[in-house]
Amino acid sequence: MSRSDWFGDLPVRWPIATIGRYFDVGLGKMLNASKESGEGAAAPYLAAGSIQPDHLVLDEPKTMPFTADELTRYDLRKDDIVVVEGGAGYGRSHLLTADLPGWGYQNHVARIRQVGAVRPGYLLYCLKACLASGYIEANNRTATLPSLSREVLRSLPIPVPPYQEQRQIADFLDRETARIDTVIEEQQRLIDLLRERRGAVSDQLLGPHTSLYPLKRFVDDVTVGIVVNPAAWYADDGVPALRGLNIRPGRITTSDLVYLTSEGDALHAKSRLHSGDVVVVRTGQAGASAVVPHELDGVNAIDLLIVRPGSGVNADFLAAYLNSPSTRSMIAEGSVGAIQGHFNVGSLRELPFPDLPADEQRQRGGKWLEQAEAIDALIAGTETFIQLVRERRSALITAAVTGQIDVRKEVA
């Protein structure tokens, strides 16, 4: 349903206006325009992908021809706000803190430049609050993705507190969001340390290996999931199928599952999974492995390596071994035949594997699983905390730019 605003009731001293009343809004140069004209000299330009949620990416910029007039028309100055116009990252915004001499910007980026009595620093937070509210998506859904065209941006309503109060709001939010961002960074570092600890635990518990032989000597089978046009068998409902994105070191996630028709599943019976199998990622995070639990017995696999351990190999120990930093490094460096992050059946069959008694494998694998689950619980708790802090950050911005909290005393 369409909404008339994104901010609700405001202080009586705050009028409402559109962005276009106080700012010039322009889109950048079309990429193919240079090819058609053949004029100008190559210059760097700000692309939509350059605008990330919390920073600009300016290293290794793309270039295209700009004439001298175009570089004047599409210049970027301190206190300009640049906004992603459309696509998956639409609405991302950034306030330039310095001029970018010699740069232009492309047509999927909108430049907002002050021409009236609303401060850019205040407007930046209004844009973030407006996007978080869902107002843009509710009022501007196209056939594909929401967008922030020049017209949409110009017509967005914003609260307009007194000019001095705008500065106070922006200063308050600069300070408070910086504090929150510091907390998030610290928690993210904690997650990184926990993940390193998780890997170290596996290396420690696996211990030294004096006798290593190819994995194929110990397991019943190594095979691969569906690799040829799996999408031909997709259905809205049917037999679940795991993909690489479902596999994490030591665990399987069931979000974003795809489903196969019964016919597709029957035609690919060799890639059907059974509890106790070990699934291994082939591409991207090559080598990441997990044991198939009882509740996923009978699902299929797409573009995954599959190990049937048999009686001679403990599945938890095998997963721990494959997920250990030393083994992952061996796979990544290509010492077992993996090329550019692509791990295949032949590589896995030839992977050196320790010759240990089944009881010792079971003991080591069980200890690794116990400690890994404890560390995973800490990571999950930290990730939940980060999400709550981010929600607090967004709520604080909205409260400040809509007058729900009076920041004048905070910055006095």
Q: What is the pLDDT of residue 338?
A: 46
The predicted structure's pLDDT at residue 1:
34
Q: What is the CATH number of the domain that holds 218?
A: 3.90.220.20
Residue ranges making up the domain that contains 146: 16-160
Confirm whether 183 is domain-assigned.
no
Burial zone of 97 (CB within 10 Å; 0-12 exposed, 13-18 middle, 19+ buried): exposed
Tell me which amino acid residue 41 is: A
When divided into structural domains, the chain yields a total of: 2
Contact between residue 180 and residue 188 where contact means Cβ atoms under 8 Å apart: no
Clarify whether residues 139 and 219 are in a common domain: no
Amino acid type, 77: R
283 and 149 in a common domain? no
Does residue 21 share a domain with residue 114? Answer: yes
Residue ending a domain, choose from 303, 323, 355: 355
Whether residue 403 is contained in a domain is answered as no
Same domain, 230 and 139: no
Query: Does a structural domain hold residue 137?
Result: yes
Same domain, 141 and 25: yes
Q: Is residue 180 part of a domain?
A: no
> Following DSSP, what letter does each residue of 335-349 receive, concatenated?
TTS-BTTB--HHHHH
Whether 184 is covered by a domain: the verdict is no
Contact between residue 80 and residue 51 where contact means Cβ atoms under 8 Å apart: no
Name the 3-class secondary structure at 96.
Answer: coil
Residues 155 and 215 in one domain: no
Q: Is residue 54 part of a domain?
A: yes
Contact 169, 401 (CB under 8 A): yes
Domain co-membership, 242 together with 121: no
How far apart CA 406 and CA 168 sit, in angstroms, is: 10
According to the model, what pLDDT value does residue 214 have?
95
Residues 350 and 218 in one domain: yes
Q: Are strands 251-252 and 247-248 parallel, antiparallel or unpaired?
A: antiparallel
218 and 129 within one domain = no
Instruction: Indicate if 237 and 134 belong to the same structural domain.
Output: no
Domain annotation covers residue 68: yes
Q: Are 101 and 218 within one domain?
A: no
Distance CA 208, CA 361 (A): 13
Query: What are the pLDDT tens digits along the chain (412 aa)?
Result: 345 689 989 999 999 999 999 999 999 999 876 555 568 899 999 999 999 988 899 998 999 999 999 999 999 999 999 999 987 788 999 999 999 999 999 999 999 999 999 999 999 999 999 999 988 877 765 556 667 889 989 999 999 999 999 999 999 999 999 999 999 999 999 999 998 898 888 777 776 666 889 999 999 999 999 999 999 999 999 999 999 999 998 899 999 999 999 999 999 999 999 999 999 998 877 788 999 999 999 999 999 999 999 888 999 999 999 988 888 888 877 645 444 456 789 999 999 999 999 899 999 888 888 898 899 999 999 999 999 999 999 999 999 999 999 998 776 5
Confidence (pLDDT) at 334 = 62
Among 303, 330, 355, identify where a domain stops: 355
Say if residue 34 is in the same domain as residue 154: yes
Q: Choose one of 340, 355, 370: the last residue of a domain.
A: 355
Provide the pLDDT for residue 339: 46
CA dihedral over 110, 114, 118, 119, signed as positive or negative: positive
Asked if the structure places residue 375 within a domain, the reply is no
Burial 298-326 (b: 16+ CB within 10 A, else e): ebbbbbbbbbbbeeebbbbbbbbbbbbee
